[in-house]
Amino acid sequence: MIYIEEIVASSILLVWVIFVVMVLTKYLYGFMRRRGLEPNVAIYYNRKVIHILTGGLCAALIPLMFKSFILPLIMSLLLAAFLFSFHRRRRLMYWFQTNDNAYEVSFCIMWGLIIALGWILADGDFRIGVLPVIFMSVGDAITGIVRNAIYKKRTKSWWGNLAMALFSMSIGAIVGFAGIIAGAAASLIEHFEFKPIDDNVLVPAVSFLILLLAKILAPSFLTL
């Protein structure tokens, strides 16, 4: 069942996401370019800003604003289709999209899918799904920002993964020992590339699987 409060919440979050994607990061791109940053560096920073302010913030609000996964899932799939349409028409939003990948599309799909699966498989408790999404949104953004600040390009670095681990394991501790393990695993798997699968699939999938197995096989490792 969908409640009117959830429709209002979805509308507010959708407006916020559109503002961040279409207005805020476009302004930030111009600001960074005027400060001398290369286009690829500005784009990379913007993608991480979007990760945190849309994926991370919205995920954190899901347990407070929704009673089911239906509207968050619909919203994420609509956003994925919207973003993919720019790739399809070859008219990219240059301030954060690139020709060589459509990772922002897989980000939206996994955001909604993991949250939905978490709700379904955890008897209505959003946290099993929300935590992996926060690892993907905020944790992965942190590692990217650290790497970009050090190397000024898109590359893998254990320094970035260490920063991600500090954040993810700390946040994971909220749900117990299994959350700490899931945060560590997410930070480790992010360092490696398994083309064509990208981080936005691997990070939430691996950490979600760990939390789900803990719920089924070792519930004492979770403090839900």
Q: What is the DSSP string of 91-134?
A: ---TTT-BTTB-HHHHHHHHHHHHHHHHHHHTTT-THHHHHHHH
pLDDT of residue 182: 97
pTM of the model: 0.93
CB 160 within 8 A of CB 100: no
Domain ranges of the chain: 4-221
pLDDT digits (tens), the chain, 224 positions: 788 999 999 999 999 999 999 999 999 999 999 999 999 999 999 999 999 999 999 999 999 999 999 999 999 999 999 999 999 998 999 999 999 899 999 999 999 999 999 999 988 888 899 999 999 999 999 998 998 888 777 777 889 999 999 999 999 999 999 999 999 999 999 988 788 888 899 999 999 999 999 999 999 999 86
Pairwise CA distance, residues 184 & 6, whole Å: 33
pLDDT of residue 218: 92
**If DSSP codes are grouped into helix, strand and coil, which group holds residue 82?**
helix
Q: For residue 194, which phi and psi values (nearest 5 degrees)?
A: -125, 70
**Residue 214 Cα to chain centre, angstroms:** 22
